[in-house]
Amino acid sequence: MTFDLNDVAPQQSGDLIPDGTFAKLTMSIRKGGTDGANEHDRGLLKASNQPGSDVLMVDAEFTVAEGPFARRKFWQNFTVQGGKLDEQGQSIGWRISKSVFRAMIDSALGLNPDDMSEEAKAKRTLRGLADLDGITFVGKIQIEPNRNPAYKDANRLDHVVLPTAPEWQKVMAGEVVPAQPSNRSRPAATAPVSAAPAWGQSQPGTTPATPAWSGQGTSNPPAQPKADSSGGAMPAGGPAWLTT
């Protein structure tokens, strides 16, 4: 018996994706076995392994969808429950994560972030965080220096690129956008610290029957930002990026 290894891709370099790279990214959620705030998120979340922590997080895997770094991956956790609160008693971490998730939807569906029409708001409504699994959007990637120089640096999501940005248009058109490095220096090392961020509280509010996404999928994203171009709720089977 022989093993033909010619049908697999060559081993990828262990080098990081260059700081400031713009790319189309697909986010997959790696289930952590802990239930979220509703039935739709059963077993979705990952608990912190820090002693005494009440942290729950979305464990996200990002894959570059196309371009010179296609199929390269990086990983990042997002606040869902537990951790520090602001002066109003609201989760700081969840507030930040919620803003990032909204931006992902706007980027994926070509929504103008200033569009607050009822139809646009419906497209930003989730049955649960599990609906974000498989979403494809434009993002800028950074290299995050590790606080402890004994450990390797890592790629992270710098920010989601919105349809109002010129880089969004170019990436969606298949152009290679020159990297714009963040120029972050390595923090001064004092002692090894945990890489875990501060986490937030669980998502408030009620759960809609279905998310009302745009009818357009991520395989052929809109070429121009739109305020509102394809009405109606998404199919019951899932978000637009899974029903192409």
The number of folded domains in the chain is 1
**188 in any annotated domain:** no
**60 in any annotated domain:** yes
Amino acid identity of residue 25, one-letter, is: L
Average pLDDT of the residues in 116-131: 96
**13 in any annotated domain:** no
**77 in any annotated domain:** yes
Percent of the chain predicted with pLDDT > 70: 72
Q: Is the distance from CB of 69 to CB of 91 less than 8 angstroms?
A: no
Q: What is the pLDDT of residue 220?
A: 47
**33 in any annotated domain:** yes
Q: Could you give the CA distance from residue 221 to residue 133 in angstroms, rounded to a whole number?
A: 17
**4 in any annotated domain:** no
Residue 8 vs residue 160, higher pLDDT: 160
pLDDT in tens, 188-226: 554 443 333 333 333 444 445 444 433 444 444 454 555
Range of the domain at 76: 21-181+196-242
**144 in any annotated domain:** yes
**1 in any annotated domain:** no
pLDDT in tens, 5-25: 877 655 555 689 999 999 999
Q: Could you give the CA distance from residue 171 to residue 117 in angstroms, rounded to a whole number?
A: 26
pLDDT in tens, 46-99: 998 888 888 889 999 999 999 999 999 999 999 888 878 788 877 888 889 999
Helix (H, G, I), strand (E, B) or coil at 193: coil
Query: Where residue 229 falls among pLDDT bands split at 50, 70, 90?
Result: very low
> How high does pLDDT run on average in the chain?
80
DSSP labels for 120-135? HHHHT--SSGGGGTTE
